[in-house]
Structure 1
Amino acid sequence: MMLGVTLVALVAIGSTGSVVAVPPPPPNPGDDELASAGALVQSGIGELGALVTLVAEADQQLARLDDEVAIRREAVNRALVDLQNARAAADTAAAVVQASQQALRDATAQISAAQHDFDAFARSLYTGGPDTSSHAALLGASSPDSVLDRAQILDRLSLGRDAVLDELQRARTQSANRDSAARAAKQEADSAASQAESQRAAAEQAIASARDALASQADRRSRLEGERTSAQARLDEARAAFGGLESSRAAYETWDEQRRAEEQAQAEAEAAAQRAAQQAAARVAANAAARELASQLAELAVPHTDLEEYTPTPRRSTPTTQIPTVTGSAAIETVVDRGMSQLGVQYAWGGGDENGPTLGIRDGGVADSYGDFGKIGFDCSGLMIYAFAGIGISLPHYTGYQYLAGEQVPSAQMKRGDMIFYGPNASQHVGLYLGDGQMLEAPQSGSVVKVSPVRWDGMTPYVVRMVS
């Protein structure tokens, strides 16, 4: 795999034109011929240098545009995640309202039952016959002793009545308190619902803003690509002008030989990567426990791209299940295997969940121009969701939130299985560190999941370690 890293670096250098061989003058020239060749070489060197600078500047501008596009895409992911969080808060508040209203209905029923029982008891004492109860029999007696007993019973009834009325009053007070709690809970539910709608509006606004910005950036990128093509054409013409010199031909033959060697090394590296992917896929297929953990997480997750019309409804609490996880090197290798098993899967913006690649979504710009909304694949944060789901870790579909999900470790101390982030506040991109200076990533539209050399430019100060 180190050979593949070296090859990629060499190809990158060659594609930007940063290394240019200056051809020597032809051998054994005459004085006039030597002077003419020297002038031609000097002129060619100047023009080649200017063209190389132009191509390098175009590459830098394109890289900045790609960074801006990545940040805006992830901002949309963030808004979508925030929307789902607000909806969950509204559901919880609605459930509280429902419970409070049920408590209020229960208190009212208790008051009614208590009043009914008291009235029935009083009627039975005063209207019942002598066989109704011992109290009623004493009330109906005619002797002085019976009258005295009746007075005592009436006195006890009065005390009992007062106790029942006190109980009713306490029930009424509890009812009033529950009613007040229900109103407060309803206000909380309304506030949460309003917040959810505001978050939805924010998500829609973020998408609209991203579409406008991406359209403008796509135009700029197209113009820059045209300038680069033109510069490359002029560079090719300048190189062709030197083709008549034997030294230039020798330099070209040397370069061509190196190119063939690099292509062979690239093919060997790609074949090795494919073998590694097949081996990882076989281990993933055999790891039933990881698939079960990922499946459980997927069932509990709410798709972050769901923007259908929303009405807050009470959400039944999901029974909490302690999902078992593996730790240490076994957990790290499970994460790496799941990620490596997806080598070659196409990039799809917004794609990927706990169970694997999913259909991409529209962004109104670059991703749409590549047809990501019609592809099954991963974006960078979706690939991380799939990799870590196999050990029971649930990640949000936004790089900025993934950056806060685990232990932040200085980037210089990164280890195999750490997540590497790019852009301000990790808002641009994420990859998985494999060791030996390589990382696994889903880089951009038009590309595929692949192994790349670690890029230090634009990296955040910390990597994130989910498993020790």
Structure 2
Amino acid sequence: MAGTVRRGPFKVALGLLVCAATVLLVTPVAEAVPPPPPNPSDNDIAAAGAQVTSGIGQVSALINDVAAVGQQIQQLDSVVAAKREAVNKALVDLQTARDQADTAAAAVTGTQRALVASATAVDLARTNFDKFAEQAYMSPGSDSMVNYLSGGSPAQSLERAQMLSVASTSQDSALNGMRHAQIERANADSAARQAKQVADTAAATAQTKKSEAETAVSAAEAAVNEQTAQRNALVTQRDVAQQRLDAARQQVAGLQGERAAYEDWDRQRRAEELAAAAAAATAAVRAASDAAARERAAQLGDGDTSHTELGDDSGTHKSMPSKPSRPDGTPAELIEMVVDRAMSQLGVTYAWGGGNGDGPTKGIHDGGVADKYGDYKKIGFDCSGLMVYAFAGVGISLPHYSGYQYQMGTKVPVAQRERGDMLFWGRNGSEHVALYLGNGKMLEAPESGEVVRVTAVRTSGIMPKAVRLIS
């Protein structure tokens, strides 16, 4: 661009107004203090205190009443629990008696069945033996035992006599076994009868237990109902006593609570007023500081060739003005000026090649991605242009290239970065630069299609050193 336009008082004044408006817009507005709560007078509080003092004895008595009611309820619970367990015992005894009766009845049935079977066997054996004897001795015939014994030789007769004796002995032994079994079954029958008596006794006992259980249940239910009614009455008395106690306590604390609420409100009101005054003072100071920063940036820009005019072949070159001195202030205050200037550009469009000490400028052609997004037609910042604008406000002139910015200032380990340091990515900082805000956050002009924003620090590809220009 040929020639230089000097900035007059009007432009400086306009910059002051714009900066002040920016600070006021970004300054948080305190929330409105709610209406004041009731504020009881000292006389009201004293009168309430006198009422509480006079009622201390009554409240103490109510506390004792509640404790006594609670103890009575515990005693009633113990009585009810004991009666209910007595019912459980009666029911268990009833079940045990029924089991014994069932067992005895089963024993009677088994022994009677065995006795009948034994008698039947003995009767059958006796009948068979009687038939054998009658056939052998009383009904001789061709096949009778008499003929069998009388026929043949004496030896045969002797042998046959021996066989008859063996048969008789065998029959007698079998009959004796049957008789022995019959005796055992008789003994079993006697035991069965005794078991039957035991069963009858157990049944009668079971019935008695059942009656006792039913009586105990009825008595317990009646006691439970009576004691439950008494418990409910006591609980009602306790609740009434508790309500009276709560009312007395509320009488003590009621007006004092209102006074405390009013005092809290009053403290909030004073704090809001102080915060508003401090915010107004800060806004005025920052507005003045930003106006001065704009003037210093304008001085830096006078005579510089714009980053977008590198291709200008007009042959016109501007003289380089003297560099303005750094403004007064502590390092912390200067860092806040830098951060304020950078944060004032939040939301400004990214434009590759855009930005200088005065603010956003039109981007330039890159022949690639930026042209695709039309950055050469947009007004905004790229990453290094945003740093140029931020630090110009404190008299620091930066080249519009992140790689050169990486060579300036003091390098510190990136792990020791502080608010106001510049962070870099790519070899020797050649890819990207951002302003560190603290607490893991940074401000950057990211890439084409985006806007100036605050984001978390990206550690991937970050350079191991940060650059500190103010210390």
TM-score by length of 2: 0.41
TM-score by length of 1: 0.41
CA radius of gyration, larger in: 2
